[in-house]
Amino acid sequence: MQVILAKPRGFCAGVNRAISIVHQALERFAPPVYVLHEIVHNTHVLEELRQRGAVFVEELEEIPKGAVTVFSAHGVSRAVADQAAKLGLRTIDATCPLVSKVHRRIIRLVNQGYDVLVIGHKGHPEVEGTCGQVDGNVAVVSRVAEIDTLDVRDPERVGYVTQTTLSVDDTEELLKTLRRRFPHISEPERTDICYATTNRQAAVRQLCDEVELILVVGSKNSSNSNRLREVARLRQTPAYLIDDAGEIDPHWFAGIQRVGISAGASAPEHLVTGVIEWLKRQGPVTVAEMAGGEEHVSFHVPELEG
């Protein structure tokens, strides 16, 4: 069997930053350190942090007064930040800087009198955090079919932002429909879909031309990991989303000689290594990494005061 590794794959700068903030908080303050929601959507990352003393909660009321509390990489609404202050929590914001950029844009649009469309998955933490930055006229759009029924105050004063982890292909279809209905819609100078999401999807598209099956390493609730699987399937390449090698079904590989492996932006590289080791135990395997650009993006990790 020939295995080709997607490039790039795995951790992005925002995930690295968020995980580093939790590690630093655990080192600087005595555990437990509380984290509102999953810091990133990966079960292995969460378990490793739990072992060090991180406690993940879904509601602020679960956190003792005065406790150190980290907001996840997906960001939170203003109401959540205000509630944390009222509860006397010591908060640390690990929101990805690219998500924060989307927050600034939606605030600016609302202040300028626009109705704002948030393109993304309803109920996703990032989408809820983005919508919660403003009190203006905001609607979440997930499907093309929803666009015709949108109720806006002024079709000439409509803008949009997007969730950073969307499918580039799916979003383009949504945007084409939005532009037809709102010819003067205000668009960001550059797409809100982050560089890591775009690069990983492009690598999987290229991988589809070289392999017969693709394994995407990532957790089931990871938006960007699910999008990688969808990118492959849209190109008629069988693809499976797995948390780790333990979820592999040997029957997938009947008659398969060329396998591609990618990983979502919140999946650590050691999980990819585990998948390769599993494949090697099944028989002779050669491993190569596809040609691809290096990512040199990094985000500043703030020093936490003791």
Phi first, then psi, for residue 30 (nearest 5°) are -70, 135
pLDDT the model gives residue 40: 97
Phi-psi category of residue 265: left, alpha or beta, with phi > 0 → left and psi -120 to 50 → alpha: alpha
Supply the DSSP symbol for 64: P
pLDDT the model gives residue 121: 95
Active-site residue, selected from the candidate residues 47, 58, 126, 173: 126
Per-residue pLDDT 10s for the chain (306 aa) are: 999 999 999 999 999 999 999 999 999 999 999 999 999 999 999 999 999 999 999 999 999 999 999 999 999 999 999 999 999 999 999 999 999 999 999 999 999 999 999 999 999 999 999 999 999 899 999 999 999 999 999 999 999 999 999 999 889 999 999 999 999 999 999 899 999 999 999 999 999 999 999 999 999 999 999 999 999 999 999 999 999 999 999 999 999 999 999 999 999 999 999 999 999 999 999 999 999 888 999 999 998 876
Numbered ranges of CATH 3.40.1010.20 in the chain: 2-11+194-289, 98-181
> What is the three-class DSSP state of 242?
strand
Phi first, then psi, for residue 162 (nearest 5°) are -130, 155
CB 217, CB 261: distance < 8 Å = yes
User: Any residues with CB less than 8 A from the CB of 259 and at least 6 apart, and which?
Assistant: 1, 2, 3, 4, 211, 212, 213, 214, 215, 253, 279
pLDDT the model gives residue 170: 85
Q: Which fold has domain 98-181?
A: Cobalt-precorrin-4 Transmethylase; domain 1 (3.40.1010)
Q: Which CATH number fits domain 13-97: 3.40.50.11270, 3.30.450.40, 3.30.390.50, 3.40.630.40?
A: 3.40.50.11270
Sign for the pseudo-dihedral over CA of 19, 14, 41, 9: negative
Q: Does an H or E element contain 287, and which? A: strand 286-289
Numbered ranges of CATH 3.40.50.11270 in the chain: 13-97
pLDDT the model gives residue 306: 61
pLDDT the model gives residue 294: 85
User: Any residues with CB less than 8 A from the CB of 45 and at least 6 apart, and which?
Assistant: 19, 39, 266, 268
To the query of whether residue 126 is one of the catalytic residues in this protein, the response is yes
Q: Which fold has domain 2-11+194-289?
A: Cobalt-precorrin-4 Transmethylase; domain 1 (3.40.1010)
